[in-house]
Amino acid sequence: MPSTAEPAPPQEPWYRYGVIVLCLEMLIAAAVCAYALYMTFHGHGGFPGGRLSG
Amino acid sequence: MKRSLRTHKVEQLILATAGFFWCFLMWFSTAAFSPSIAAHYHLGIQALGLLASSAIWMAPLGRMVAGWAADRFGAPRTFALVLAVCGLMSIASAYTHSYELLFAERVIVATAGVSFVIGIQHVAQWFEPHEIGIAEGLYAGTGNAGAGVGALLLPRIFGTSYPSAFLWLGMIALALAAWYLLRGRAAKTMERRETARRSSGFKSALFVWSRYIAIALMLAYAMSFGLEISLNAWLPGYFARGFHAQILALGFTGVAGMQIAAGTFAAVQSFTASLFRPFSGYMSDLFHRRGWTPLPIIAKTLPYAPRLHWLGLSLILVTLAMGGLTAAGLSGHLPASVAVLVALGVFISFGTGGTFALVPLLFPERPGLAAGFIGGLSTAAAIVYPLVFADAANIHAGYLRVALVLFVPFVLFYFWAARYERHPEEHGVFLTLAAHEVAGE
């Protein structure tokens, strides 16, 4: 049975910029993790500490 | 009467995000300087542990009060008050020479962590149902990153001079408080503002706390955000013990080297969990737009049913990844374990983003009360999980145990509570009144 949600109105201009920001954030997360893991698996340091969020 | 205010919802989103980012920076600034504080006051390991744990003390109750206050007095006033109090206390702690007084001041600064639910309420009062996922995701994900930025940058900018850091953090918090008061508007329309204010009584709070769906969302957030912060504390020790030989083989020797390697592996979880959160909001919006409802049992005809399904999928993925973490650990393969951990971080972000894409839609008349209950009580899970992890006979087995003993029942309860095709928020432990009757009080 389909959802009874009404058809969503067209997205406002800000939404596109929001998607760009979230893509940038994911890119930063992937790049920082890849860099830190590469360094660590090659015997160098990675992140300066283990706590990065809350 | 609808009254447009001379501002834009994106400005309100930026205000809330900036305030939350700074609050998280202050929340974890004590941890960033704990080695310097320990060296200055000659603290032992127990005192250091107490200082580290104090950051979370105020969260469960504090967030519930903050959510109520945001509904009652409006998010701008409440957020400005939190920023001002924490800012002033941070400035005071910069001039303190007694450790006992410093500890007390930093516990008060740690109340900055309650700001999360105030911003959730603020954003919910400004954005429409079809865009709430990405709006709340951008707010929470970007703000959460404040803790990571603090850990990375504060020690590099200020070195061991934690009083200077506390002074600057406090002064900027005061400036943000003034900005919030000046430009912040509580809601898009007067009706929304009045509805939230009218619904902030004790009866309303009891109503929210007793709803099956609110309890299910609280457990969902405990499975995601609660797990995220418990892993922050648990994982460095887990990697140092569970993969000791493998880390030695990478060339890390001594306590400091082991700490760097284990800390790095642990950090990928919280980094991905924070920065993928807006993506989860986007996915929730996408499910909503496309009307995807793939799971059984969960309601399919509610206007926000697709969002319930997205969260259900996220919770299943978190549970499976916990089993995967145990399997990877038992195999002794460090890269596999880290890869599963990255996936777990992403799935956790799906859970956190998916939960708060739903809260404002399920409780549109009392977003602060609901956010306070769901975002507050769930943080207590961060205390429970490490106890279960540590209690397992094998250090790798704790994740599977948590998944089977806690997460599977949580997911089943979520499916059960989300099965109602009409007004799931009207089903609860007690108080069978309809939502609008309670709002009228």
Question: Which tens digit of pLDDT belongs to each residue from B162-184?
Answer: 999 999 999 999 999 999 999 99
3-class state of residue B428 by DSSP: strand
Min Cα–Cα distance to chain A from B100, Å: 25
pLDDT value for B317 = 98
pLDDT score for B64: 92
pLDDT computed for residue B5 by the predictor? 53
Q: Measured between CB atoms, which of B32, B233, B264 is closest to A36? A: B264
**What are the tokens at B244?**
């000791």
Query: What is the distance between the alpha carbons of residues B206 and B193, in angstroms, rounded to a whole number?
Result: 20
pLDDT attached to residue B434: 52
- Determine the average pLDDT of the residues in B358-372: 92
DSSP per-residue letters across B8-74? -HHHHHHHHHHHHHHHHHHHTHHHHTHHHHHHHHT--HHHHHHHHHHHHHTHHHHHHHHHHHHHHH-
Spatial neighbors of B348 by CB under 8 A, at least 6 apart, are: B224, B225, B227, B228, B269, B273, B318
Q: Tell me which range, A44-48, B38-42, B65-69, is most confidently predicted by mean pLDDT.
A: B65-69
Instruction: State how far the Cα of B188 lies from the Cα of B176, in Å rounded to an integer.
Output: 21
> Taking CA atoms, what residue in B is nearest to A10?
B130
Of B155, B232, B335, the CB nearest to A48: B155
Largest Cα–Cα distance of chain A, in whole Å?
55
Tokens of B403: 């998944």
Taking only the tens place, the pLDDT of each residue in B241-252 is: 899 899 889 888
pLDDT band at B332 (very low <50, low <70, confident <90, very high): very high
Q: Name the residue of chain B whose CA is nearest to A13's CA.
A: B10
Give CA B283 to chain center in angstroms: 19
- Condensed to tens digits (0 to 9), the pLDDT of residues B421-434 reads 888 888 888 765 55
Rounded percentage of chain B residues whose pLDDT exceeds 70: 95
- Do A3 and B31 count as a contact with CB atoms less than 8 A apart? no
Contacts of A50 in chain B (CB under 8 A): 232, 235-236, 262-264, 266-267
Q: What is the pLDDT averaged over residues B193-221?
A: 91
Residue B409 has pLDDT above 60, yes or no: yes
Residues of A with a Cβ under 8 Å from any B Cβ are: 1-6, 8-9, 11-12, 14-15, 18-19, 21-22, 25-26, 28-29, 32-33, 36-37, 39-43, 45-54
Ranges B94-98, B203-207, B404-408: which has the least confidence:
B203-207
Query: CA-CA distance, B68 to B91, in Å (whole number)?
Result: 27
Q: Give B3 or B71, the one with higher predicted confidence.
A: B71
Determine the average pLDDT of the residues in B220-227.
95
Q: So what's the ipTM on this one? A: 0.78
pLDDT at residue A49, as a whole number: 47
**Is it the case that residue A4 has pLDDT exceeding 70?**
no
Beta-carbon count within 10 A of A43 CB = 12
Instruction: Choose the closest CB to B232 out of A36, A37, A53.
Output: A53
Q: Which residues contact B168 (CB under 8 A, 6 or more apart)?
A: B158
Query: Nearest CA to CA, how far is B124 from chain A (Å)?
Result: 16
Looking at every residue in chain B, the average pLDDT score rounds to 89
Indicate the pLDDT class of residue A47, thresholds 50, 70 and 90.
low
* DSSP H helix total and E strand total for chain B: 25, 0
The residue of B130, B307, B350 whose CB has the most chain A CBs within 10 angstroms, and thus the best one to mutate to test that interface, is B130
Count chain A–chain B contacts defined by CB atoms under 8 A: 162
Provide the pLDDT for residue B438.
52
The b/e string for B7-43 (b: 16+ C-beta within 10 A; e otherwise) is eebbebbebbbbbbbbbbbbbbbbbbbbebbeeebeb
Closest by CA to B253, choosing from B265, B241, B244, is B244
Residues 277-316 of B with CB under 8 A from A: 278-279, 281-282, 288-289, 291, 293, 300-306
- Mean pLDDT for A6-30 is 84
pLDDT > 90 fraction of chain B, expressed in percent and rounded: 60
What's the confidence (pLDDT) of residue B177?
97
The pLDDT score that the predictor gives to residue A5 is 53
Please name which of B84, B85, B88, B74 lies closest in space to residue B118, comparing C-alpha atoms: B74
Q: In the predicted model, is pLDDT for residue B3 greater than 70?
A: no
- What SS3 class is residue A52? coil
Please tell me the least confidently modeled range out of A30-34, B4-8, B198-202, B335-339: B4-8
Contact (CB<8Å) A54/B28: yes
Rounded distance between C-alpha atoms, residue B235 and residue B345, angstroms: 12
**Which residue from A minimizes the CA distance to B132?**
A15
- Judge: A46–B260 Cβ closer than 8 Å, yes or no: yes
Instruction: Indicate the SS3 state at residue B211.
Output: strand
SS3 label, residue B301: coil
| Max avg pLDDT among B23-37, B75-89, B140-154 | B75-89
- The pLDDT of residue B47 is above 50: yes
Residue of A nearest to B309 (CA): A3
pLDDT at A50: 44
Distance in Å, alpha carbon of A10 to nearest chain B alpha carbon: 10
**Averaged pLDDT for residues B47-63:** 80
The partner residue sitting opposite A40, judged by closest CB among B147, B233, B261, is B261
